[in-house]
Structure 1
Amino acid sequence: MTGKGGTGKTTVAASLALALASGGGRVLLVEVEGRQGFAQLFGCPPLPYEERKVADAPGGGEVLALAVDAEAALMEYLELFYGMRRAGTILSRFGAVDFATTIAPGLRDVLVTGKATEAVRRRAGADRRRGTREAARAPFVYDAVVMDAPPTGRIAQFLNVNSEVAGLARVGPIRNHADKVMETIRSPETAVHCVSLLEEMPAQESLDGIAELTEIGLNVGSLVVNMVREPLFDARTLEAAAAGELDTEVLTRGLKAAMLDQPEERSRQLATEIVEHARRVQAETKIRRWLSAVEHPMRELPLTSDGITVESLYELAGRLREQGMA
C-alpha cells in the first residue's frame, strides 16, 4: 500500500488487512517506516520486532502486525545465513549497521523488504521440516501480507531492490537474497495498491507512481480514493451555486421562517459556504474523472467525520469487501 503522505495509506492498509482476514483468514500487517502507525490505529503498545496480534476479524480471522527495523532485520539475517548474531551485535554497538545502511541505502530496502517477503513465503512447521517434501506442501502461515510501504514518490525505488543492490553485490548471499525478494515482489499474487485523494497533488503523484511501477514491471492493483465526501445538495443547486447564481432570497425566506436572528446576514454567509462547497465538488468531480481513466480498479472510501477509530477501521474494511478488493 502506497500513497502520498496524508492520504491515509496506513489506515487503508489496516482496513485491507481486516477485510482480507474476514471469514477466518490470518493476515500480517507490516510497517517499514518506523512510525508505529498500526499501534496507534489499533490502540496497542508500540510494536516490537516480532509479530503481534492486533485485531480479530469477522468470521474468526485475525490480524497480526510487525514493525520492521533494518538493524534488527540485519541481526536476523546474519544469524540465519551465517550464524553471526554475536558479531552483528558488536557491529551494532559500534554504529557500523547505521553507517552501512546510510552509505548504501539500497541495503536497508533489501533488509526491510526481505523480512516482509520471508513472512509471505513462510510455511507452517517449516523450521521442523526444512528441506523435506512435507515443507513444500505445508500451508502458508499467512493468507496474506499487507505492507504499509513508503510514499509513491519512493515506492518504485523501494520495491525494485534488485537494481538497488546491483551496485552493492553482483553475486553472493546478498544478491541471492535480493533475487528471492524480487521473485516474491514480481509474483502474480503480489500487487501494489495506490491511495489517493480527490485533490490534484495526491492524484498526480498516484498516477506518476502507477506509471513508474508499470515501467519496472511490477503489478499495480487498485487505486483507492480515500476520504471521499458526499455532496450536500442536488446537482442543479450545486451547478447554480458554482456559477454564482444561487438565490439568496430563498435562503433569507427560509431563515426567517425558522425564526433565526439576522436572516439577511446569515443567508449571505450560508450562500458563501454553499458556493465554496459547490466549487469543491466540481473540482473533485473533475479529478475523479481524471483518476478513473487508469486501467486499474478504482475503489472509494468515505471520510469519517469523527476521525479514525478501531470501529471505523471495521467499517472501511466492509466497504473494501463490498467493492471486491478482498
Structure 2
Amino acid sequence: MSDWPKVRLHVVTGKGGTGKSTVASALAIALAGRGKNVLLCEVEGRQGIARMFDVDPLPYEERRLTTGLPNESGGRGVVHALHIDAESALLEYLAMYYRLGRAGRALDRFGFIEFATTIAPGVRDVLLSGKVYEAVQRNSRNKGAIDYDAVVLDAPPTGRIAQFLNVGGEVGGLAKVGPVKAQSDTMMTLFRSPRTAVHLVTVLEEMPVQETADGIAELRAARLPVGGVIVNQVRPKDLTPDDLAAARAGALDRGRVEADLKAAGVEHDAALVDGLLAEAQDHAVRRALEDSQREIVARLNAPSYELPRLAAGIDLGALYELAGHLRAQGLA
C-alpha cells in the first residue's frame, strides 16, 4: 500500500545534481502502475522530461508519454507530460477566465505577456503553479481535459520551493482583493492540504542533506506539507562491515584479492591489484560518509526512501527499475 493514498499532487524538489527530474519521472511511472492516469509536469524551461524519455521537446500541451508498471492484475495506467511556461499559462488563463482568446494573443504579439511576467516579482511563479493547480482541480472551463488521478511536478530546486508554492504570500504584494487574489487563496487551500505532498530528493553528501534539512524547515514554516525524503544514488552494500573497515584503513588482505581474481579467471598484475585496493578504499570512505549523513536524514522527522546508484546511467528501462523500488518501499 502507498504511504500517501490521499495525495493527488506530488511535488518533487531537490538540490541541483541530486536527480530530482529522474525521481519525478520514476514516481510518475510508479503511480501510473496502480492503474492511474498521471500527469508529469515541469516548470523550469529545461525540457528535462523530453530528454529523460528521449522524445521531441514538449509543447504547452498534455502529451501521452508512456505507461506505468503493471499492477497485480496486469493493468497499468498512462503517464502524460506537460511542459509549462508562464507566457502560455497566462494566455490560457485570460482565455478561460476572461474570454480573451484573440485579444490575449494580440497582447502576446505586442510583448505585453513577457512584460507582465517579468516586471512584477512573483507573477511568473504564480502563473506556473496556477497551471499545476488547474491540472489537479479540473473544472468545466477546461472542456475535454483529462481528469488525472495524480499530478507529479518536477519543481524548482529546494532553495526556491517554499517561495514557489507560497503563492498567497507572493500575490499579497500585488493584489489585496480581486480575482487574482481569490484564485491564489484557492490554490493555497490545495497546496496546504493533505492532497499535496512535497518530496525532497537528496544524495548522502553534506551539502545536499543540509539543504534538504533547510528546505523542510522552510516548508513547515510556510505551513506546506512535507512528504518523503528520497535518498538517491545510494552505493551498493556488498561488503561486510569488517571488510569495509579494513578497506577504509587500507588493510585489505592483498593475497585474498589476488586469490579471488585467480579463481575468477582474471589475469592480473601488481598494478591491477593496487588499483582495486585503492578503489575499495575510496568506496569504503564514501560509504562511511553516507552512513553519517543517513543518520542526519533519519532525524528529519520525515519518511525516507532509498534509490540505488545505477552504473549504466538513466534511460527508460532505468526509470522503470527505479519506479519499482519506489513502489516496493511505499512511496507510490
Quick check: TM above 0.5?
yes
Contact 1:255 1:267 in 2 (8 A): no
Indicate which of 49, 56, 59 corresponds to 1:45.
56
Contact 2:43 2:154 in 1 (8 A): yes
Identity over aligned residues, as a percent?
53
For 1:76, the equivalent position in structure 2 comes to 92
Distance 1:313 1:252, change over 3 A: closer
Contact 2:27 2:326 in 1 (8 A): yes
* Alpha-carbon displacement from aligned partner over 1:268-308 (angstroms, at most 9, x marks no partner): 33222211111111111111111111111100011121111
Counterpart-to-counterpart distance in 2, 1:40 and 1:53: 15
Kindly tell me the number of residue pairs found equivalent between the two proteins. 315
Query: Aligned ranges for residues 1-326 of structure 1 at < 5 Å?
Result: 1-57=12-68, 58=70, 59-122=75-138, 141-251=147-257, 260-263=267-270, 265-326=271-332
Counterpart-to-counterpart distance in 2, 1:317 and 1:259: 35
For the residue of structure 2 that corresponds to 1:47, the secondary structure is coil
Counterpart-to-counterpart distance in 2, 1:240 and 1:156: 44
Amino acid at match of 2:164: F
For the residue of structure 2 that corresponds to 1:245, the secondary structure is coil
Shift of 1:259: 7.6
Distance 1:112 1:273, change over 3 A: same
Shift of 1:86: 2.6
Structure 2 residue ranges without an equivalent (≥5): 1-11
* Alpha-carbon displacement from aligned partner over 1:71-91 (angstroms, at most 9, x marks no partner): 011111111221223332222
For 1:137, the equivalent position in structure 2 comes to none
Structure 1 residue ranges without an equivalent (≥5): 130-139
Counterpart-to-counterpart distance in 2, 1:220 and 1:256: 52
Q: CA RMSD in A?
A: 2.1
* Alpha-carbon displacement from aligned partner over 1:132-188 (angstroms, at most 9, x marks no partner): xxxxxxxx8111111000000110111101101111111111111211211111121
Counterpart-to-counterpart distance in 2, 1:127 and 1:261: 67
Counterpart-to-counterpart distance in 1, 2:275 and 2:259: 14
Q: TM-score, normalised by structure 1?
A: 0.90
Shift of 1:209: 0.5
Counterpart-to-counterpart distance in 2, 1:307 and 1:85: 44
For the residue of structure 1 that corresponds to 2:122, the secondary structure is helix
Shift of 1:243: 2.4
Higher relative contact order (CA 8 A, sep 6+): 2
Counterpart-to-counterpart distance in 1, 2:272 and 2:105: 68
Counterpart-to-counterpart distance in 2, 1:45 and 1:268: 46
Shift of 1:103: 2.1
Distance 1:310 1:266, change over 3 A: closer
Distance 1:107 1:9, change over 3 A: same
Q: TM-score, normalised by structure 2?
A: 0.89
Amino acid at match of 1:248: R
Amino acid at match of 2:223: G
Distance 1:231 1:60, change over 3 A: closer
Counterpart-to-counterpart distance in 2, 1:304 and 1:270: 20
Counterpart-to-counterpart distance in 1, 2:257 and 2:194: 57
Counterpart-to-counterpart distance in 1, 2:17 and 2:293: 17
Counterpart-to-counterpart distance in 2, 1:234 and 1:106: 51
Amino acid at match of 2:202: S
Shift of 1:314: 1.3
Counterpart-to-counterpart distance in 1, 2:223 and 2:112: 34
Counterpart-to-counterpart distance in 2, 1:227 and 1:121: 34
Contact 1:198 1:287 in 2 (8 A): yes
Amino acid at match of 1:108: R
Greater Rg, structure 1 or structure 2? 1
Amino acid at match of 2:62: E
For the residue of structure 1 that corresponds to 2:40, the secondary structure is strand
For the residue of structure 2 that corresponds to 1:63, the secondary structure is strand
For the residue of structure 1 that corresponds to 2:93, the secondary structure is helix
